[in-house]
Structure 1
Amino acid sequence: MQVSESQKLNQFERQIEQCRTGDIPELSQCLRGLRQRLKQKRPIDRGLIKLQQSIQESLDWVLTRHQLCPEIDFPEELPICQKLADLAELIVKHPVVIVAGETGSGKTTQLPKLCLKLGRGRQGLIGHTQPRRIAARAVASRIAEELKTELGQAVGYKIRFDDQTQESSYLQLMTDGILLSEMAFDPELRAFDTLIIDEAHERSLNIDFILGYIKKLLPKRPDLKVIITSATIDLQRFSKHFNNAPILEVSGRTFPVETRYRPLVIEQLSMGEGMDEPKTISHSIEPYDAMLQAIEELCSEGSGDILVFLAGEREIREASETIRKHLQGQVEVLPLYSRLSRSEQDKVFKSHNKRRIVLATNVAETSLTVPNIRYVIDFGFARISRYSQRTKVQRLPIEPISKASAEQRKGRCGRLSDGICIRLYSQDDYESRPDFTDPEIYRTNLAAVILQMLNLKMGEIEDFPFIELPEQKQINDGYRLLQNLQAIDQQKRITALGRQLARLPIDPRLGRMLLAAEQYLCVKEMLIIASALSVQDIRERPLEKRSQADQWHLRFNQQPSDFSSLVQLWDYVHQLKADLSSSQFKKQLKSEFLSYVRLRDWQDTYRQLTRILKEAGLRTTANPGDYASIHKAIITGLPEQLGHKTSEGDYEGTRQSRFVLQKTSAVNKKAIHQNRDV
């Protein structure tokens, strides 16, 4: 029986659904075109042959992936593996599934394997996001190991400056920032047939935006499967956001953890001679002395490694020096934070003989599991990004963590046996803390998000399906900044300059400086400055050697400008690198209180921005930019952060804000004080 052309087209339509997700739009468009021609009684025989060939090529690609998929098994001891049948049923039946798992449940490593087992990852990638680069790489390594495949083959990862995926990869671990950047080039995320959004309870701005974007995308991508994982926090909010998506809770594989409170301030009642009532006397303990006491207390409890949570890199460095000084050779001390080199991060996961003390920021709170931890010491602080409505500046203050974060830290021990968590604050302090950390959307400037939404033609931010809509004054601040930067017009429409800004992976203010630099003939200098302001300062100032460090750094203040000092610093370290061997270079940087790890970040960002500007056609000049030109370009990006020197010696900024210069500022010279503007 001969098949009609109309029947063939219907058959092709069914086949297209099984094709590579990235091919489906083009194939579907071709199919619609042929149907239109058929309706107009025009010949389609040649088009049918071409479409059939294209469909077959795509189906062959999918078939090859089915044949080459690695074998999958599941470790029975993980709690999530007892729920695999239930999970599989939910994933097959629903577009979105919420998986709530406690620490140690195995959700991060086993969910992508379950998706593979269900046949996902054949028509496109299984995309699996992590909040941090260090976690993305570590999780990818672990899953690759379990699938008995080399990292970068069946399982890869993609983080800023490092893409370890291939055409043949089934699973791609990535930061949520990378997934955001994918949206600009692949608005329907056709590279993926499955998305796993891990650690959604962290509620970063990226995660909130991704969840809203996916909600809008799903009607266009009924084939897409989405799994959202979270600690057991605020689950109903996620479910309601996705039309009452089903929730499956998985218990953690944990042993009992004892909590001990060892506050830094101890109050005691004292009854002196001639006193009618006892008097309360407070005794303060230095933080690192309290840490040493906690370490000694835990060492007396038995074997096992210790994980210490500190606020930031500087605190980790100071704590490390303290421990090494007092426990010489008795323990192995390792740092753990996101900007560490890959080799330094990997040390945490390697076997060892001595008791190990790992000093970590909050990167070790979730996703990343440090092995062999039996004890936790928690200082109870973290650096939390906050935007000041008054000064219009994004700050990174050290703040007490929430109860939820404290419980996450506590949960890092008790994985192997009974654990102990020592909190270096009081129980009353713990009880007074908020239940959760504010979602980042409430404490950040929204200009970058608004700009990306306008660039992606996603409409007004007020109409976007955020899990929680930001406050109107935050939205207004974001629009106002973009108008000041000329990224949008008075009708809130994105401009040509705004589209250029949207391509730059940095704060819009820094991007505006770069675009202005072409006009003022100082692109090279502005690349150095903008990339420096995008990363942490490479100049270190250890507490006990601060004056010594400042003396080393003052030599870069050859002009009355902290921005010019960055250019001087850049030129110096690159000349130093050219003159010395790699080991000599690192040693010299350390002796001059300059961070090699942060320098590498600075260089990577510089190279990335240079490549993007080159692709955008921005011209550079052989001659160096002059002082005035550089600062004109800077002011273009920071119109709201100008200051005027007052008769009292401080500075008055916009909106009646007042500030003083840091003592080490290049502007803080007597000769410069005659110039009243900064």
Structure 2
Amino acid sequence: MQPPYRLEFPDSLPISGAVEEIRRALAEHQVIVVAGETGSGKTTQLPKICLAAGRRRIAHTQPRRLAARTVADRIAEELGVELGTVVGYQVRFTRQATRRTAVKLMTDGILLAEISHDRDLRAYDTIIIDEAHERSLNIDFLLGYLKQLLPRRPDLKVIVTSATIDTARFSAHFGDAPVVEVSGRTYPVEIRYQPLDDPDADLIDGITAAVTDLHARGDGDILVFLSGEREIRDAADALTARATAGHGALRSLEVLPLYARLSAAEQHRVFAPHAGVRVVLATNVAETSLTVPGIRYVVDPGFARISRYSARTKVQRLPIEPISQASANQRAGRCGRLGPGVCIRLYSEEDFAARPEFTEPEILRTNLASVILQMADARLGSIEDFPFVERPDGNQVRDGLRLLTELGALESPRGRREGEAVRLTPVGRLLARLPVDPRLGRMLVEAAERGVLKDATAVVAGLAIPDVRERPADHQQEADALHRRFWAPLDAGAADARGDASDIAALLRLWKYLRVSRRELSGNAFRRRCRDEYLNFQRVREWQDLTTQLREVCKELGLGAGHPQATTTDWDALHTAVLAGLLSHVGLIDVRSRTPAAGQQRRGRRPIAEYLGARGTRFAIQPGSAAAKAEPPLVMAVELVETSRLWARTVAPIEAEWVEQVGGHLLKRTYSEPRWSAAGGQAVATEKVSLLGVPIVADRVVSYGRIDPVAARAIFLQSALVEGQWRTRHHFFARNERVRREAEELEERARTRGLVDDRAIYAFYDERIPAGITTVAHFDRWWRDKRRTDDRYLDLTLDDVTSAAAEEVDAGGFPDVWTVGGADLPVSYTFDPGERRDGVTVDVDVSLLNQVDPVPFTWQVPGLRHELATELIRHLPKAKRVNFVPAPDWGRRVLDFLADRPELAGLPFPDAAARALTTLSGVPVAGTDFDLDSLPPHLRVTYVVSDATRRPAEQELGHGKDFEALRKAFAPTLNRRLNAAATGVTHPGATSWQFGELPRTVELAAGPTPLLGYPALVDQTSSVGVRIANTAERAARWQALGLRRLVTLVSPDPTRSVFAHMSNDTRIALSAGPSGGLADLMADARLRATGDLIAKAGVDPAAVRDAASFTRLVDAVRPEAAPTMQRIVTQAGRILRRHQAVLRELARRPASESTADVRAQLDNLVFPDFIAATPEPHFTALERYLHAIEVRIAGWDSAPAREAAGLDVITALEDAYAAAVARYEVGELPAAAAEVGWLLEELRVSLFAQSLGTAVPVSAKRVRSAIQALSGPGSGPRA
């Protein structure tokens, strides 16, 4: 019967001459090997030969999808049938064939996949394995499987086709199968060796010279093989430059690149008709995959980038390596098709002879994970026993197993023995059925569980195909700018910040952009948009098809079922899903790599950040990545490829928590610093988590009980029960703490350690608490049951917690309460040298600050008084200290002396001790002789100011060792409380007596402690009010000033009369005074006159407490008001005239330390309101002080040495005085302290104008003693 197709074998094809030989071999043998060069017709004619031999179910494999489609098309055309009938094809997700198809072209991967459901391949009677010399993983796997299958299928015929490369190996693999040779080249090729003997010779120069030489021989295109895109660009630039420069031999040359990533349009230019001579610069893609027409000459530098898996770094590398002899011959075979050809090899013949005969098969230089996965799924036994053409290395097998373990595809891989078949987990079985790389498949499985399968299929499909983004050599910057749009959301309002700096997010955004564009545009418009935006249209179509097909496969496998799928992009979930397939491609940034080297700094270069990768690898993010500039701390990479360095491609930032979610089976955890956590009620440790050597978690606190229960229990007993670091309300522990505090209090008071025995307490608990209790929660559960039978089971006694040394401590010398002025003040003790509260602490309620006399505290508690006396003696000046040796004995004598003299108990202890030493030794000692500042801090009482009205945790308001400073600091608080409680006693202000009878003291209820207040008149300038002072001294000051103001307000104003009798000189002087004007100065003088008259009347301001006494005082003052004011104004005029003279003289002098000192002195003497503020007799002395300044200035020129010496003395004393009175608020300076200031003025007269005389005897020593007395023991120990 005539077949429904034509069977013809073109005479132009070399294989046509061997048709009968092949038919006979096929009839006589189950396997034959057909060897022939590219172009011999093997691929298209062998299926027809099989048809002619009566075979009707022919599987014909191709290494590439494009080849499967185009070969099927060609065979159908030659048979005269429609594609999809007699002849069909099937590639990933695309099938154009029927059950009746006789010849089915397919990729080798499709045939492998069919094994899982058709183990004996019963669908076929003939299998053609084409291009077997490429030795891809799939080809080697198929050849091994067919060897196993043939004994079970004696009817099956197998044809292995190959270039004339290592055919003997294929023959031997199938039991010495016959080899049929068919010739493909009809013209001889001359091989010429032109090695670059000079080590410094440039490869580009060698290529240029070879091209020039070949072009000069005559017409014919030239094919130059190079190792990569960069090398192609360099060579193209060099050749184009020479051609443009008008080099005679190269003027008409057309230079074209050819490599896999080139855009489709640029690739097509290579195959298009052309005039003139063309130089094609190609990678090894032109070695076997593509036939470039018109080639007469070949230039072979002898190198190529070979994909090679590194067992050390566990990454696929692309190193540049010398090619094998077989590859070199393949390259040479590309010429000589049109006529005699020439191949120039840029290396020596000896180099060629030394090279390996064949290129190493892919199975020996790649990861075997996919092979192992498919074998396990097909239950084909162990990979070690599988009959590969060449058995892979054991390290490769282990690395393949390691990757599948990383992906969670294998069951118990660690316990597997060599030769034992691996078993797949449910995840592994899914990966075996997903038609993508295992890493990509793992992403889909995880995405299904996380509800992001829809987005993940688009991403995985985009990763599974060549990048759709093109970068034409002459439009790279424009293309990059268009592609970078997808680094950020196209919609400015889109909330997907998680997708920033992520190539994964950029890919998904591109997908969504293309999807929307495809809906909005017509077919041609969409194609134009892809072209204009440098997107490969065919790959975009492939991406769309693959995405659809992946979704169908996932649906068939049930992926996503039972897991709600997100309707919008969940970036975290998507990235986590992608991470599940890339766990060994995680990297942590090495911050040290960001520091530029010296050379980089000089050149202004930014160093490329390096990342620490799995198993000690280091990589950098490829500069074209969205993550390159962002330099995220933790990243994942789809690819790690080694060229000039190890580069990460398609990178995205990740979070450590994602790694823990999907990589738990690979994580290594280490623990350090076990310690107690009172907040958590358990022992904790610092956990470090790493993934294949990459630090993921640096310092995380975790429970230590699950790591080391014994150590955790010991920490619990010591920290919680012994040291009390836990939160509990157990009554037994409260009782035990009271016992412990009692023992510790003995230590604090006696200032010794060792009385409390922690080891004994630990042993007590260790004996009674069961093993296995490691946390507070465990303990609480146990104790809840135990206490029902014996609630005193864990009670400590004092003997349980103390050592024998505790019996020697006398607690009587360390009272718990200090009674001062009728107030019982709590006392506590701290033994912690260096700590602020080391020593004795007295708690003083803020309400008692104005009632407590600090003098008793200078005597210390009895238990420390001997040490205090001893230290005071040791801190005497040396001249006196030598009289009191040994100090401890003299300290005891002082205490005995004072015990017999109770009258000295009212003195500050330093003063009382000085009296005792003076009496006992005859050596004069004063209280100011002791260097109190140098005493050990624990001998100075610490005062804590508290507020009993607050919650216990907030009661402390402040603390310190200076009682007066604390009194000053909290005076506003006390005053506010006093005035708030003094309703009915205070008054906001009046201009006459409207206060009724004013009591001297009031007791106010303002909390648990009654407040004692001192009502007083208060000067408010335009009125007088009543406020409550916190001390009697302050009340006296307020009362005097307030009474002076109120008498002035109710008395007739004599200002007009005084002004009328004032001399012109006085008016002029007053007008230039420091006040706001003449009126202010007159008001100040009137106020001063009132004060002088009150004093003259002999009335104590504190005694004026009612309207009657006030009226009597006003009546006594009124008659003398005008003349007294007249006298004061006249005196003020004289003072101001002299003040102005001093200022004029100072203005003529250059600035110096002396002039600065004089100006400061003037500011203290003459200031706004100085008339009323300066008391007698000092107001009268102001004129003399100013005269002394004039004398001083006059002596600057004649006696500079005296000026310098006097200035040193006065400066030191002024500084000391300022420090001594700094504790007082403005207007609150006690009279005694103010008098020291006037004493300083008298000292200035003595130093600089002695001829004027002083009001009192004065010397620097006397002033220094007076200043020391201001901060001496009577004011409490200084801070």
TM class by smaller structure: 0.7 to 0.9
In the alignment, structure 1 residue 71 sits paired with structure 2 residue 6 = yes
Aligned with 1:498: secondary structure?
Answer: helix
Query: What's the counterpart of residue 231 of structure 1?
Result: 163
Aligned with 1:143: secondary structure?
Answer: helix
Query: What's the counterpart of residue 789 of structure 2?
Result: none
Query: What's the counterpart of residue 45 of structure 1?
Result: none
**2:200 and 2:138 mapped to 1: Cα distance?**
44
Distance verdict in 2 for CA 1:577–1:336, change over 3 Å: farther
Count of equivalent residues: 594
Q: How does 1:544-555 map to 2 (within 5 A)?
A: 550-555=480-485
Query: What's the counterpart of residue 455 of structure 2?
Result: 525
Query: What's the counterpart of residue 412 of structure 1?
Result: 334
In the alignment, structure 1 residue 571 sits paired with structure 2 residue 512 = yes
**2:230 and 2:363 mapped to 1: Cα distance?**
27
Query: What's the counterpart of residue 565 of structure 2?
Result: 621
**1:205 and 1:296 mapped to 2: Cα distance?**
40
In the alignment, is the contact (CA less than 8 A) between 1:108 and 1:367 conserved in 2? no
**2:504 and 2:153 mapped to 1: Cα distance?**
47
Aligned with 2:580: secondary structure?
Answer: helix
In the alignment, structure 1 residue 154 sits paired with structure 2 residue 154 = no
In the alignment, is the contact (CA less than 8 A) between 2:487 and 2:503 conserved in 1? yes
**1:488 and 1:556 mapped to 2: Cα distance?**
37
**2:407 and 2:185 mapped to 1: Cα distance?**
51
Post-superposition Cα deviations, 1:343-374, rounded to whole Å, max 9, x if no partner, equal: 99888777777666666554443375455443
In the alignment, structure 1 residue 176 sits paired with structure 2 residue 108 = yes
**2:477 and 2:268 mapped to 1: Cα distance?**
34
- Per the normalisation by structure 2, the TM-score is 0.42
Aligned with 2:181: secondary structure?
Answer: strand
Aligned with 1:660: secondary structure?
Answer: strand
Post-superposition Cα deviations, 1:90-139, rounded to whole Å, max 9, x if no partner, equal: 21111111222244543333322222221112xx2x22222223433443
Aligned with 1:421: secondary structure?
Answer: strand
**1:184 and 1:302 mapped to 2: Cα distance?**
56
What is the CA distance between 1:542 and its match in structure 2?
5.9
Distance verdict in 2 for CA 1:551–1:348, change over 3 Å: closer
**1:545 and 1:352 mapped to 2: Cα distance?**
23
Q: 2:44 aligns with which of 109, 113, 134?
A: 109
One-letter code aligned to 1:437: T
Decide which moves more: 105-114 or 584-593: 584-593
What is the CA distance between 1:507 and its match in structure 2?
1.4
Query: What's the counterpart of residue 859 of structure 2?
Result: none
Post-superposition Cα deviations, 1:25-58, rounded to whole Å, max 9, x if no partner, equal: xxxxxxxxxxxxxxxxxxxxxxxxxxxxxxxxxx
Distance verdict in 2 for CA 1:464–1:260, change over 3 Å: same
What is the CA distance between 1:188 and its match in structure 2?
1.8
Q: How does 1:58-207 map to 2 (within 5 A)?
A: 67-76=2-11, 78-121=13-56, 124=57, 126-207=58-139
In the alignment, structure 1 residue 301 sits paired with structure 2 residue 228 = no
**2:655 and 2:447 mapped to 1: Cα distance?**
25
Q: How does 1:267-306 map to 2 (within 5 A)?
A: 267=198, 282-284=200-202, 286=204, 297-306=213-222
Query: What's the counterpart of residue 370 of structure 2?
Result: 448
**1:623 and 1:192 mapped to 2: Cα distance?**
44
One-letter code aligned to 1:621: Q
Q: 1:247 aligns with which of 179, 193, 210?
A: 179
Decide which moves more: 245-254 or 188-197: 245-254
Query: What's the counterpart of residue 1268 of structure 2?
Result: none
Task: Return the structure number with greater relative CO, CA threshold 8 A, min gap 6.
Answer: 1
Aligned with 1:72: secondary structure?
Answer: coil
**1:90 and 1:213 mapped to 2: Cα distance?**
22
Query: What's the counterpart of residue 386 of structure 1?
Result: 308
Aligned with 1:185: secondary structure?
Answer: coil
In the alignment, structure 1 residue 662 sits paired with structure 2 residue 584 = no
One-letter code aligned to 1:392: K
Q: How does 1:1-80 map to 2 (within 5 A)?
A: 67-76=2-11, 78-80=13-15
Distance verdict in 2 for CA 1:243–1:412, change over 3 Å: same
**1:651 and 1:350 mapped to 2: Cα distance?**
45
Q: 2:360 aligns with which of 438, 442, 453?
A: 438
**1:297 and 1:582 mapped to 2: Cα distance?**
48
What is the CA distance between 1:508 and its match in structure 2?
0.9
What is the CA distance between 1:676 and its match in structure 2?
9.0
In the alignment, is the contact (CA less than 8 A) between 2:262 and 2:470 conserved in 1? no
What is the CA distance between 1:430 and its match in structure 2?
4.0
**1:138 and 1:320 mapped to 2: Cα distance?**
31
In the alignment, is the contact (CA less than 8 A) between 1:103 and 1:252 conserved in 2? yes
Decide which moves more: 661-670 or 631-640: 661-670
Q: 1:641 aligns with which of 585, 596, 606?
A: 585
Q: 1:259 aligns with which of 191, 195, 205?
A: 191
What is the CA distance between 1:300 and its match in structure 2?
4.2
What is the CA distance between 1:213 and its match in structure 2?
0.7
Query: What's the counterpart of residue 211 of structure 1?
Result: 143
In the alignment, is the contact (CA less than 8 A) between 1:304 and 1:373 conserved in 2? yes
- Per the normalisation by structure 1, the TM-score is 0.76
Post-superposition Cα deviations, 1:243-263, rounded to whole Å, max 9, x if no partner, equal: 222223334442111234566
One-letter code aligned to 2:54: G
CA RMSD of aligned residues (A): 3.8
Aligned with 2:343: secondary structure?
Answer: strand
What is the CA distance between 1:563 and its match in structure 2?
2.1
One-letter code aligned to 1:641: H
Aligned with 1:375: secondary structure?
Answer: strand
The structure with the larger Rg is 2
What is the CA distance between 1:321 and its match in structure 2?
9.0
Query: What's the counterpart of residue 514 of structure 1?
Result: 444
Post-superposition Cα deviations, 1:117-164, rounded to whole Å, max 9, x if no partner, equal: 21112xx2x222222234334433443444344444433333335434
Distance verdict in 2 for CA 1:628–1:542, change over 3 Å: same
One-letter code aligned to 2:452: C
In the alignment, structure 1 residue 602 sits paired with structure 2 residue 543 = yes
Q: Which runs of 5+ in 2 are unaligned?
A: 245-249, 417-421, 489-499, 594-609, 635-653, 657-695, 697-1279
Post-superposition Cα deviations, 1:382-438, rounded to whole Å, max 9, x if no partner, equal: 443222223322344454432211211211221232122244556565445432211
In the alignment, is the contact (CA less than 8 A) between 2:502 and 2:627 conserved in 1? yes
Distance verdict in 2 for CA 1:158–1:294, change over 3 Å: farther
Q: 1:651 aligns with which of 599, 605, 611?
A: 611
Distance verdict in 2 for CA 1:86–1:586, change over 3 Å: closer
In the alignment, is the contact (CA less than 8 A) between 1:527 and 1:606 conserved in 2? yes
In the alignment, structure 1 residue 631 sits paired with structure 2 residue 585 = no
Query: What's the counterpart of residue 22 of structure 1?
Result: none
In the alignment, is the contact (CA less than 8 A) between 1:132 and 1:338 conserved in 2? no
Query: What's the counterpart of residue 464 of structure 1?
Result: 386
**1:587 and 1:253 mapped to 2: Cα distance?**
41
Query: What's the counterpart of residue 501 of structure 1?
Result: 431
Distance verdict in 2 for CA 1:572–1:389, change over 3 Å: same
What is the CA distance between 1:521 and its match in structure 2?
1.8
What is the CA distance between 1:451 and its match in structure 2?
0.8
**2:159 and 2:571 mapped to 1: Cα distance?**
52
Post-superposition Cα deviations, 1:56-93, rounded to whole Å, max 9, x if no partner, equal: xxxxxxxxxx6434232333454434433333222111
Aligned with 1:68: secondary structure?
Answer: coil
In the alignment, is the contact (CA less than 8 A) between 1:339 and 1:598 conserved in 2? no
